[in-house]
Chains A and B, each alone.
Chain A
């Protein structure tokens, strides 16, 4: 995929780097300032999940095209413990860690598309997309 941008996530500082890069790329695509904040926040949530549960992983940013629409693709990958029950993890308020349990379901609400694949003992891959809405430009 063109324009790929990969940020290793190993510590909480990397969360800030990831959301900066995401905001930058999204700004180039022409998202509104509110949408930039939504995207940066969603990136922050999935990056935090990587730091908290898997210790290290990465966030890959790329651009996708659907018809005449352009969008940003954020992929968060780790080789961590995996999520045993995705349905439960996607419920508001459910958390096995110290968070509020709003990270994953929240990130899903902030983006247009959200897909999560996880295998226990192998890792987790989250793919989120948001499309530029032409009328808000």
Chain B
């Protein structure tokens, strides 16, 4: 199932709706990297609240996605990592190095506003 991407001002919000296959994750990566330039977005939020498993593939894909988006000049924040998922990621030895995370969508938006110095208001 593909992930809907909403445009809000200068930000893009990808809200994961159900468990993602590897193909879905790679599609999300491609879509987001492309849309950042289509919409000249400054920030991207990926909401993973519904994910009850984040294995090494999912983590690596999210990390690559964030780095690609950074190279396109925008910031990425991953929000909504569940406590059980966080526990399991640490046990597994997975790290989201260089990727910003926030508790939920609200915190994620606040972080982006801070990082982009409120550019969104002009969008």
Residues on A lying within 8 angstroms of B by beta carbon are: 12-13, 15-16, 19, 23, 33-34, 36-38, 40-41, 44-45, 48, 92, 99-100, 102-103, 105-107, 109-110
Contact = CB atoms under 8 A, between A and B. Distances in A.
A16 B19 CA distance: 8
Contact of B21 (A12, A23, A40, A109): A12
Interface string B63-84: 0000000000000000000111
Contacts, number: 68
A15 B92 CA distance: 17
Contacts of B94: 100, 102, 106
Interface of B: 19, 21-23, 52-57, 59-60, 82-85, 87-88, 91-94
A110 B92 contact: yes
Contact of B93 (A36, A37, A99, A106): A106
Tell me if A's interface is mostly helix, strand, loop or mixed. Answer: helix
Given A37-B84, A41-B92, A106-B92, A100 B56 contact: yes
13 contacts: A16-B21, A19-B53, A37-B53, A37-B88, A38-B88, A44-B55, A48-B56, A102-B94, A106-B56, A106-B91, A106-B92, A106-B94, A110-B92
